[in-house]
C-alpha cells in the first residue's frame, strides 16, 4: 500500500468502529458497525457484531503505523518494527497467535516482536473471524513489511474460538504456525469478566452469569467467558486441519513466572534463533509482571499497558471451586490431547521446595487435612477427623552442593507461583491450636490444606525431637503463630524449633489466591516477624513486608534488604513453597544491611530439593 493509500485509510479509520468484548461497537467517529441481534443482560455478553474494520480490542490499542487503529498500541520498546516502512514486502503471516483471549497473547506478541527476525502487526485484524469477506489482499495490506528472512506475525485471540478460522487459515496456508496461549480457565474467565465490567459496569455478577442454575451447579456454557476456557473443544476444530506439531501452546502462567523460558520455546517453535532470553526481562514489582528491559534500541517503558494485569473482581470462592470442578475434565482431556500438563487445575499444590536448610536430613510432611470449607468455621475436631493423606521425604542435598559456587543473579526479586489455599504449619500433629485459631477460622470457602511437619531428623550433633538426649533436648517445636491473614492470603512464619534457640531456622509459608486486596495486582502483606536478641534473651516483634502478586506469584519485597533485623536471624533457612510453578535459579541472593556494621551482606538462598506433592 502506498503512503497515500495508507493516509486515506488512516483518515477513514476515524469513522470506523471496533468491537469490544461485549460485542458492542465502540464508536470512533460515525457508527459503521452492523447491528447485531438485540440482546440484553447476559446475551450481550456473548455476542460479537461484525464491524467494518478491525480495531483494537478494548484496552488493546494499536501500534503506531498500524493501519486500522485509532489509538497507539502499548508498544514495548525494543520492538523491531521501527525500521523504514519501505523496506521489505508485505506478506501474509506465516505465524498467528490465535488465542486465547486474556491468556497473555499481548505479552507473547510484544515479547516476540523484539526478535529481529519477527515483525508483527500491533493491532488485532480479526481477519479470520470478522473481516474475512475483505479478502486476502486486504489482509496482506495490513501487515508490516518484512525482509525474506523475517516472519510476519499477527495476533487475534478470538480466532481460537471461531469455528471457521482453522479452515480459513488452512486455506491461506497449510504451513501457518499457530500459537495458543492458555491460562487457567477460571482465572481467564474472571479476567475476561473484569475487562467487560470495566466497560459495562452494569452487567450482572460473574456468579450470576456463570450458572444456569447455581444451586444445582449447572454452569452456563453459552456464556463466552466460560466457553472460551473449554479449550479442548475448540482445539478439536483446529486439529481437523493442522497437526498438533504445528500448534504451540504457551502457558499463560509460566509466561509470567518464566517469560524467557516460555519465549525460548516460542522461538524454537518458530524456527528462529533464541535471541530473546533472560536478559530481556525484569520483574516489575509495581506492575506485578515481567517487563522488557531497556535495550540500546529502545529507551521507552516496556511494561504492558493498564488493561493488562487489571485487579480482578472478587469472586465468591465457592463459585471458583465449582468452576474448577467444572473445568477439570476439560483440562484433563486438553492435557491428554496436547501431551502437556499445564496444571490448569490449579487446585492443589504440587511442589514442596526446601531452601537453604543445612541440617535437615529428611523431613516428613504429613497432610492432615484437605477439605473444602464453605463458609463454616472449622474446629480442631474437624481437622483431626480429616485423614492423613501423604508422606513425603525431602533429602537434604546441601552437603553435596555446598562446594559449588553460587550463581550470580542480577535481579534481586524472585518469584514463584503458588496454588491456592495452602497453609503449612510446623506444628506437630496437635494441629488444634491452628484449627482453633480465630484467625484461621476467618478463612472461609476455600480449599484449605493443612500440612504438618511432624518429624525432622537431624544430622549427628543436631538437636532432634526423636533424640531428646541430643543438643535439642527438651525442646518442642514451637506452636505456630499465625501472623496475618488478609482474605485468602495467609503468611505464616515460625521457627523450626524454639525460636530463641534456633534463630536461623525459619519456616516461611505463603499462601495466596486471587482476591480483592490486589490493587494494581499487587498486595503487600505485613509479615510479623520475631526478632531475637540473643544477648538480652528477648523476643521483639517487627513487621516485614512481603508482596504477593496476583494469585500466581509471590516475591520478597526489597524491604527485607532494608530491614533492621540481624542478618543471622534474618536468613531464612527453610522455605516451603507449595505451588504449581517456580522459577528459582539454584541460588538467589539479596543484599542485607548489617545493622551493627552497616555493611551490606549478601544472603543466599539455595534451592535444595523440591518434591512432588499430590493429594487425591
Ligand X SMILES: Nc1ncnc2c1ncn2[C@@H]1O[C@H](COP(=O)(O)OS(=O)(=O)O)[C@@H](OP(=O)(O)O)[C@H]1O
Which of these ranges, 102-110, 129-137, 400-408, 571-579, lies near ligand X under the rule CB under 6 A? 102-110
- For residues 309 and 289, the answer to whether their CB atoms sit within 8 Å is yes
> Is residue 102 flagged as an active site residue?
yes
Specify the residue, 477 or 514, whose C-beta has the smaller distance to ligand X: 514
Which of these ranges, 104-112, 134-142, 361-369, 475-483, lies near ligand X under the rule CB under 6 A? 104-112
Q: Which of 103, 144, 472, 572 binds ligand X (CB under 6 A)?
A: 103
Q: What is the DSSP annotation of 173-189? A: -TT-EEEEEE--HHHHH
Which of these ranges, 65-73, 82-90, 96-104, 333-341, lies near ligand X under the rule CB under 6 A? 96-104
Cβ 107 to ligand X shortest distance, Å: 3
Burial class (CB in 10 A: 0-12, 13-18, 19+), 124: buried
Sign, CA torsion 79/82/87/93: positive
Q: Is 383 in the site for ligand X (CB under 6 A)?
A: no
CA separation for the pair 182, 99 (Å, rounded): 8
Q: Is 565 in the site for ligand X (CB under 6 A)?
A: no
Q: Which of 289, 370, 549, 576 binds ligand X (CB under 6 A)?
A: 289
Q: Is 555 in the site for ligand X (CB under 6 A)?
A: no
Q: Which of 125, 144, 185, 290 binds ligand X (CB under 6 A)?
A: 290
Q: Is 26 in the site for ligand X (CB under 6 A)?
A: no
Q: Which of 101, 234, 302, 589 binds ligand X (CB under 6 A)?
A: 101
Q: Which of 90, 101, 102, 273 is catalytic?
A: 102
Total binding residues toward ligand X, as defined by CB under 6 A: 19
Q: Give how far Cα 225 sits from Cα of 28, 232, 431, 548, 597, Å.
A: 26, 15, 40, 26, 56
Burial class (CB in 10 A: 0-12, 13-18, 19+), 60: buried
CA-wise closest residue to 9 among 138, 181, 106, 168: 138
In this structure, the strands spanning 17-19 and 25-27 are antiparallel
Q: Which of 23, 55, 74, 157 binds ligand X (CB under 6 A)?
A: 157
Output the nine-digit C-alpha cell for 230: 473449554
- For residues 330 and 189, the answer to whether their CB atoms sit within 8 Å is no
Q: Per the annotation, does 103 bind a ligand?
A: yes
Specify the residue, 262 or 566, whose C-beta has the smaller distance to ligand X: 262
Specify the residue, 190 or 453, whose C-beta has the smaller distance to ligand X: 190
Within 254-283, which residues bind ligand X (CB under 6 A)?
A: 255-256
User: Does the N-terminal peptide bond of residue 374 adopt cis geometry, omega within 30 degrees of 0?
Assistant: no
Please tell me the chain's helix, strand, coil percentages from 3-state DSSP, rounded to the nearest 5.
25, 25, 50
CA separation for the pair 528, 431 (Å, rounded): 21
Q: Per the annotation, does 309 bind a ligand?
A: yes
Q: Which helix (H) or strand (E) holds 111?
A: helix 105-112
Which of these ranges, 103-111, 391-399, 442-450, 488-496, lies near ligand X under the rule CB under 6 A? 103-111
Q: Is 113 in the site for ligand X (CB under 6 A)?
A: no
Q: Per the annotation, does 212 bind a ligand?
A: no
> Would you list which residues are annotated within the binding site for 3'-phosphoadenylyl sulfate?
102-106, 183, 191, 308-312
Looking at the annotation, which residues are catalytic?
102
> Would you list which residues are annotated within the binding site?
102-106, 183, 191, 308-312
The binding site for ligand X (CB under 6 A) comprises 57, 60, 101-107, 157, 191, 255-256, 289-290, 304, 308-310
Amino acid at each position: 500500500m502506498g503512503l497515500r493509500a495508507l493516509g486515506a485509510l488512516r483518515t477513514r479509520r476515524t469513522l470506523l468502529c471496533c468491537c469490544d468484548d461485549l460485542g458492542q461497537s465502540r464508536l470512533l467517529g460515525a457508527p459503521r458497525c452492523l447491528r447485531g441481534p438485540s440482546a440484553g443482560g447476559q446475551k450481550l455478553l456473548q455476542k460479537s457484531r461484525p464491524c467494518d474494520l478491525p480495531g483494537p480490542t478494548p484496552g488493546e490499542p494499536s501500534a503506531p503505523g498500524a493501519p486500522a487503529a485509532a489509538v497507539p498500541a502499548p508498544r514495548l520498546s525494543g520492538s523491531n518494527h521501527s525500521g523504514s516502512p519501505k523496506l521489505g514486502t508485505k506478506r501474509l503471516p506465516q505465524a498467528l497467535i490465535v488465542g486465547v483471549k486474556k491468556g497473555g497473547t499481548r505479552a507473547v506478541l510484544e515479547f516476540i516482536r523484539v526478535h529481529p527476525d519477527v515483525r508483527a502487526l500491533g493491532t488485532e485484524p480479526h481477519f479470520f473471524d470478522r473481516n474475512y469477506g475483505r479478502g486476502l489482499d486486504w489482509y496482506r495490506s495490513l501487515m508490516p513489511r518484512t525482509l525474506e528472512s523475517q516472519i510476519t506475525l499477527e495476533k487475534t485471540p478470538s480466532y481460537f474460538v471461531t469455528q471457521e478460522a482453522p479452515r480459513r487459515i488452512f486455506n491461506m496456508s497449510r504451513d501457518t504456525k499457530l500459537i495458543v496461549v492458555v491460562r487457567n480457565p477460571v482465572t481467564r474467565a474472571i479476567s475476561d469478566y473484569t475487562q467487560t465490567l470495566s466497560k459495562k459496569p452494569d452487567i450482572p455478577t460473574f456468579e450470576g452469569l456463570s450458572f444456569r442454575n447455581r444451586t444445582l451447579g449447572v454452569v452456563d456454557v453459552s456464556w463466552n467467558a466460560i466457553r472460551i476456557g473449554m479449550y479442548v473443544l475448540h482445539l478439536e476444530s483446529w486439529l481437523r486441519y493442522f497437526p498438533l506439531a504445528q500448534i504451540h501452546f504457551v502457558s499463560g502462567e509460566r509466561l509470567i513466572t518464566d517469560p524467557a523460558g516460555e519465549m525460548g520455546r516460542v522461538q524454537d517453535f518458530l524456527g528462529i534463533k533464541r535471541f530473546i532470553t533472560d536478559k530481556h526481562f525484569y520483574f516489575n514489582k509495581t506492575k506485578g509482571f515481567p517487563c522488557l528491559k531497556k535495550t540500546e534500541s529502545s529507551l521507552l517503558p516496556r511494561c504492558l499497558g493498564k488493561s493488562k494485569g487489571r485487579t480482578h473482581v472478587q469472586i465468591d470462592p465457592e463459585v471458583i471451586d465449582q468452576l474448577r470442578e467444572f473445568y477439570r475434565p476439560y483440562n484433563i482431556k486438553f492435557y491428554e490431547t496436547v501431551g502437556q500438563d499445564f496444571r490448569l487445575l490449579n487446585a492443589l499444590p504440587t511442589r514442596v521446595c526446601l531452601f537453604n536448610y543445612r541440617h535437615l536430613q529428611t523431613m516428613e510432611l504429613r497432610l492432615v487435612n484437605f477439605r473444602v470449607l464453605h463458609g463454616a468455621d472449622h474446629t480442631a475436631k474437624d481437622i483431626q477427623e480429616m485423614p492423613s493423606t501423604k508422606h513425603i521425604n525431602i533429602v537434604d542435598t546441601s552437603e553435596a552442593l555446598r562446594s559449588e559456587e553460587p550463581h550470580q543473579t542480577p535481579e534481586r526479586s524472585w518469584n514463584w507461583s503458588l496454588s491456592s489455599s495452602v497453609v503449612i504449619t510446623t506444628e506437630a500433629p496437635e494441629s488444634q491450636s491452628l484449627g482453633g485459631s480465630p484467625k484461621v477460622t476467618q478463612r472461609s470457602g476455600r480449599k484449605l490444606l493443612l500440612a504438618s511437619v511432624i518429624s525432622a531428623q537431624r544430622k549427628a550433633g543436631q538437636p532432634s525431637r526423636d533424640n531428646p538426649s541430643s543438643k535439642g533436648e527438651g525442646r518442642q517445636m514451637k506452636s505456630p503463630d499465625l501472623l496475618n491473614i488478609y482474605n485468602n492470603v495467609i503468611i505464616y512464619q515460625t521457627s523450626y524449633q524454639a525460636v530463641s534457640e534456633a534463630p536461623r531456622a525459619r519456616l516461611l509459608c505463603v499462601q495466596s489466591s486471587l482476591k480483592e486486596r490486589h490493587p494494581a495486582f499487587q498486595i503487600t502483606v505485613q509479615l510479623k516477624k520475631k526478632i531475637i536478641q540473643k544477648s538480652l534473651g528477648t523476643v521483639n516483634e517487627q513487621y516485614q513486608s512481603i508482596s504477593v502478586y496476583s494469585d500466581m506469584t509471590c516475591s520478597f519485597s526489597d524491604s527485607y534488604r532494608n530491614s533492621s533485623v540481624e542478618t543471622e536471624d534474618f536468613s531464612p533457612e527453610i522455605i516451603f513453597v507449595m505451588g504449581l510453578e517456580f522459577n528459582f535459579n539454584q541460588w538467589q541472593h539479596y543484599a542485607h544491611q548489617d545493622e551493627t556494621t552497616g555493611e551490606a551482606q549478601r544472603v543466599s538462598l539455595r534451592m535444595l530439593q523440591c518434591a512432588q506433592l499430590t493429594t487425591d
